[in-house]
Amino acid sequence: MLHKIKISILVVFAAFFVSCEDDFLETTPTDAVTPAIALGTVEDMEKVLNGVHSTLYSQLAGTITGAGNTQAGNQFWIPLGDNLAGELIHSADANNLGWRTAMQWNAHTQETSGVVEILWYHRYNTILHANLLIEKISSGDLPVTPRLRAIEGQAYAYRAYALLSLVQHYAKGYLVGNPATDKGVPIILEPQTTGPRATVEEVYNQIGLDLDASIAAFTNAAPRATGDARDKSQLNINVAHGLKARWALSKGDWQTAASSAVAARQGFPLMDEADWKSGFNTNNLSEVIWGSNVIGAETTFFRAYFYLASNTFNGSQIRNNPKIADRRLIDAIPATDYRGDVFIKDAPNTNTSAANGQGGFANDPNYTDRAVYNARVAAIKSQYGLVSGHNLHPYMHFKLKQKNPGSIDPDDVIIMRSSEMYLIEAEAKAMLSDVPGAQAALGPLGRQRNSAYDVTSFNTQASLMAEIKFQRRVELWGEGFGYTDKIRWDEAIDHEVNGGSGASLTLYQNAFKQAKPSVNDDWIFKIPQAEIDANPNITPADQN
């Protein structure tokens, strides 16, 4: 890792100080700074942070080891979570950006794949920048001000975020393995150093320390600005609490998960129906606690989150392969729950290359009248702003929609919102056998989404957990939580059982069924071969 990171710092910081104007963030790509001058002032340090923000969604080819033109930060990693878990279902064979290869579990299981390389090196690049900031602040060279404390809080939160991402992908799940002895990932706390794989427990302990340090710094920090979508690209104390809630939930620290989730969502009210159906395309939504604000100068075009996951995007991955949801899940949504409206069960199957062999009017079992078929196609395309080349498929979704449908325009990338925090609190309380507490946490979300919702009907731990899992799958569908949820719950993937999900065995191959994580190490990402070759502390024997 050492020589890889040395290379990346020199490149990733290369062209940062091209502007000192007030509109810097609006007009200038911000993913690079020269180390020699980057940390001289608070203003310089804030620019370094803005560069870190940018790498969360930018194309990273030429700046980070392993990065090609395929992945653009979280624009790839967020939908990948549901792509791997079988929640975001492919309806046809389209392998743009290797999206089918990843779906088939043929990328993260290969040590030379770009998927395992770029996630590893991006997260360690984030840690590198956090370490540089922490080291500078700890030196005492700069006066301690609320503004400096905000930088410190973000640096510790970013290090925790990156370590949590790494340990959840490159190690066995905390709750399904033996964290005291299972190999985790290297803990790097100083710039330009490397190390061996720590245990999962050691990594989790460091994440906890970093989150506590982040919250302590934010307690005395200048508040995050408000009023603009770009403000939420900055991390604040709510984000730190939200990360702590995720961390605690993944390790079974239920009380900490519950209390942290409550703290995280303060000031971020649940969305109403109109906002929930508006497309999840802007940080300006009331629930958004943290998200990447994608400016025009940094658009990723056909590398975008919505290119991979939104059925309104005008790209071949979507036009030729509309994404569908598991019909077993969608069929279970009550008619009084407005979230079901964004999944179009009766969409005609217009794709003659559909994997289920039912594409085109002559093969679509749901339509016998061509005029009715054509009228429904026209109505859906008109309602959602699709172009003529967009194909349709039963159970396709319109949860994720562009602000400008039918285009390739950039949209914000939502990373954390308050609904997740209600669900974390509810799950944690249920796991503590606190049925009234879990009901109280789940009720506000359920009633906001479903006019007939009665949380008291779930009056045992078992029934509550089943309902919480259902609510997570519906509420957070397409937002990338499927992979880590299934690991935490130790659940297998089975697209065939109970009538089937709608996925094609021919297309999904080995990913059509996967045994649960506790007995199946294919859930664990391979360590990049490039890391084994470069890091003297990691040998082939350390490979997952």
Q: How far apart are CA 439 and CA 474, in angstroms?
A: 18
Q: Are the CB atoms for 145 and 101 separated by under 8 Å?
A: no
- For residue 361, give the nearest of 324, 370, 353 by alpha carbon: 370
Question: Is residue 71 scored above 90 in pLDDT?
Answer: no
Q: Which two tokens stand for residue 220?
A: 């005395």
Question: Is residue 297 scored above 80 in pLDDT?
Answer: no
What's the average model confidence in pLDDT over 473-490?
98
Distance of CA 52 to the CA centre of its chain: 16
> Among all chains, which residue has been given the structure tokens 């109505």?
379
Question: Is residue 65 scored above 80 in pLDDT?
Answer: no
Per-residue confidence band for 95, with pLDDT thresholds at 50, 70 and 90: confident
First to last CA, the chain: 17
| pLDDT tens column, 126-171 | 999 999 999 999 999 999 999 999 999 999 999 999 999 999 999 9
pLDDT of residue 481: 98
Question: Is residue 63 scored above 50 in pLDDT?
Answer: yes
Q: How far apart are CA 480 and CA 458, in angstroms?
A: 26
CB contact set of 102 (below 8 Å; sequence gap of 6+): 80, 83, 84, 108, 115
User: For the chain, what percent of residues have pLDDT higher than 70?
Assistant: 91
pLDDT of residue 231: 96
What's the average model confidence in pLDDT over 275-287?
98
Q: How far apart are CA 252 and CA 412, in angstroms?
A: 31
pLDDT higher for 417 or 193? Answer: 417
What's the average model confidence in pLDDT over 326-337?
98
What's the average model confidence in pLDDT over 79-85?
96
Q: Which two tokens stand for residue 385?
A: 């702003």
pLDDT of residue 25: 26
pLDDT higher for 521 or 65? Answer: 521
Question: Is residue 3 scored above 70 in pLDDT?
Answer: no
pLDDT of residue 96: 82
Question: Is residue 33 scored above 90 in pLDDT?
Answer: no
User: For the chain, what percent of residues have pLDDT higher than 90?
Assistant: 84
Q: DSSP letter string over 166-209?
A: HHHHHS--TTTS-TTTSB------STT----PPBHHHHHHHHHH
Q: Are the CB atoms for 317 and 307 separated by under 8 Å?
A: yes
Per-residue confidence band for 208, with pLDDT thresholds at 50, 70 and 90: very high
Q: Are the CB atoms for 419 and 445 separated by under 8 Å?
A: yes
Per-residue confidence band for 22, with pLDDT thresholds at 50, 70 and 90: very low
Q: How far apart are CA 75 and CA 58, in angstroms?
A: 8
pLDDT higher for 28 or 300? Answer: 300
Q: DSSP letter string over 508-537?
A: HGGGGEE--GGG-GGGSPPPPHHHHHH-TT
Question: Is residue 458 scored above 70 in pLDDT?
Answer: yes
Q: Are the CB atoms for 279 and 372 separated by under 8 Å?
A: no
Q: Are the CB atoms for 169 and 187 separated by under 8 Å?
A: no
Q: How far apart are CA 537 and CA 469, in angstroms?
A: 40
pTM of whole model > 0.85?
yes
pLDDT of residue 67: 58
Alpha-carbon distances of 172 from 108, 140, 175, 519, rounded to whole Å:
14, 39, 9, 10
Q: Are the CB atoms for 340 and 333 separated by under 8 Å?
A: yes
Q: How far apart are CA 191 and CA 2, in angstroms?
A: 9
| pLDDT tens column, 168-183 | 999 999 999 999 999 9
pLDDT of residue 465: 98
pLDDT of residue 72: 81
